[in-house]
Amino acid sequence: MQTNANQFRYQAVEDHVMGLIDTGALTPGDKLPSLRKLSTGLNASISTINQAYVELERKGVVESRPRSGFYVRAPRRLPTPSSGDGMQAARPISRTKLINAVLESVGRPDLTPLGIICPSSRELLPGRQLARIMASVLREQPHKALEYETIPGNLELRKQISLHGLDHGTRFAPEDVIITAGAMEALYISLRTITRPGDTVLIMSPTYFCFLQLVETLGLRAIEIPSHPEYGIDPGDIRDALDKYDITASVLCPNFNNPDGSLTSESAKAEIVTLLAERGVPLVEDDVYGDLHFGDARPRTFKAYDTTGTVILCSSFSKTIAPGYRVGWMVPGQFRAKALEIKATTNVCSASPTQMALAEFLRQGLYDKHLKRLRVAIHKQRDVMLHHVGEHFPEGTRATRPKGGSVLWVELPGGVNCVDYFYEAKSRGIGVAPGSIFSTQDKFKSFIRLSLGGVWDDIKERGIIELGQLAKSMAQSNSLPSV
């Protein structure tokens, strides 16, 4: 049995057993292989196998039966949520008050962190490595760290980003890259570059609520096309929207869309890029989750299919390495000159020390090693959280089973209002994101988004159990006859 360098052997055994459950080789009620049999099959000690089984029992995935062994527990399999209605007419956006209430959860240690996406657990962040590298670059280049960086950003960091893109078929040169203060600045610069107030932009539904807030801030109108949890964007929906509306630009997330985790197929990506280019509509691509795939191969970007320079690729290291460093980047294609102008008049340049440290982190090959460990942890968190949502939430609950990314998209039964649910959960010290902030329309009133950041622990388990009890209570109240 092979294990990652940073992974304990019992965790590798956990992954093996979860894989058997996930593929259906072991189903609810099945007995797990004996300690001795699995020890022989995986070339691991009996104590290692036992530790893995005990840990799976603690997480509620299996149960032990006296003098019998361990068995797979039997929560129900959650069906996939609906994708909402079809294309909606252009309309102004206003969700600011509720979005701000959700964003108040950022950085709050008193809330169980199920509402904000970030690898919140210290065990998943390369803090010690980054601290060592930061100390080294500050010691060796103290004056450079104090100086303004160039407007496009640290050259070594841009080189490393370019090399990383080659790994998944996205070709661009270091001089094509602009470093930004997180992906949100990249998206802001993109829309400032290609739109003007009053323009109409094409977005997915549901989509990241900060996109909606940004579109509102810039005075834009939105056309929504459905994101399908199981297959992402349908090129036919984009074609219909282009035929019906005067669309200036599009903002899409093809790889593990936030919040429904959808993954658009490679053939659909290629068709969408060609279709938008033929109509002269620039495509702003958010790819902050592409590196967090659970499969063997990283999905390609829209940018990989771009032959005209009309795709603006945006990403960051906030969801993978260091949220607090606020280092993002963009490849603006044919819009580079205007993007640089807007960058320069927004904040001149991004901070020097964090760029220097991340450049060295990537140069030493530490990013790929870190990603392997992070993907394993989030994949495991997905499986365990789905198990507990299935066990503790009411009948009729639906949830996505994403192939990557950092979120679950959950549809609550019984007409539970997600806004009421959000405020009640917050009063109990639990953060969630209500579904209604992910659309300009009133479509996702019974949805919530749960974050997969961090590692599973007793705090998260208690949080999911309480959220399930709250959902049951609210669904039951809605079903009672009025007096």
Residues 244-285 have pLDDT tens digits of: 999 999 999 999 999 999 999 999 999 999 999 999 999 999
More confident residue, 399 or 106: 399
In this prediction, residues 162-188 reach a mean pLDDT of: 96
- Please state which of the ranges 100-104, 158-162, 325-329 shows the lowest mean pLDDT: 100-104
In this prediction, residues 410-416 reach a mean pLDDT of: 94
Q: How far apart are CA 378 and CA 413, in angstroms?
A: 26
- pLDDT tens digit sequence for 180-203: 999 999 999 999 999 999 999 999
Interior/surface letters 398-421, b for 16+ CB within 10 angstroms, e for the rest: bbbbbbbbbbbbbbbbbebbbeeb
Interior/surface letters 161-192, b for 16+ CB within 10 angstroms, e for the rest: bbebbeebebebebebbbbbbbbbbbbbbbbb
Q: How confident is the model at residue 1 (pLDDT cuts 50, 70, 90)?
A: very low
Q: Would you state the pLDDT for residue 81? A: 87
In this prediction, residues 348-356 reach a mean pLDDT of: 97
| Model confidence, pTM | 0.85
Q: Would you state the pLDDT for residue 150? A: 97
Q: Which residues contact 309 (CB under 8 A, 6 or more apart)?
A: 333, 334, 335
All structural domains of the chain, each given as residue ranges with its CATH number in brackets, are 9-72 (1.10.10.10), 93-122+370-476 (3.90.1150.10), 127-367 (3.40.640.10)
Q: Would you state the pLDDT for residue 156? A: 98
More confident residue, 426 or 5: 426
Q: How confident is the model at residue 483 (pLDDT cuts 50, 70, 90)?
A: very low
Contact (CB, 8 A) for 7 and 376: yes
Q: Taking all residues of the chain, what is their mean pLDDT, rounded to a whole number?
A: 90
Q: Which residues contact 481 (CB under 8 A, 6 or more apart)?
A: none
Q: How confident is the model at residue 111 (pLDDT cuts 50, 70, 90)?
A: confident
Q: Would you state the pLDDT for residue 18? A: 83
Q: How far apart are CA 268 and CA 239, in angstroms?
A: 12
- Please state which of the ranges 84-93, 163-172, 184-193, 381-390 shows the lowest mean pLDDT: 84-93
Q: Which residues contact 265 (CB under 8 A, 6 or more apart)?
A: 231, 232
Q: How confident is the model at residue 28 (pLDDT cuts 50, 70, 90)?
A: confident
Q: How far apart are CA 135 and CA 117, in angstroms?
A: 28
Q: Tell me how many degrees the CA angle 187-304-379 measures, rounded to the nearest 5.
A: 75
405 pLDDT above the threshold of 70: yes
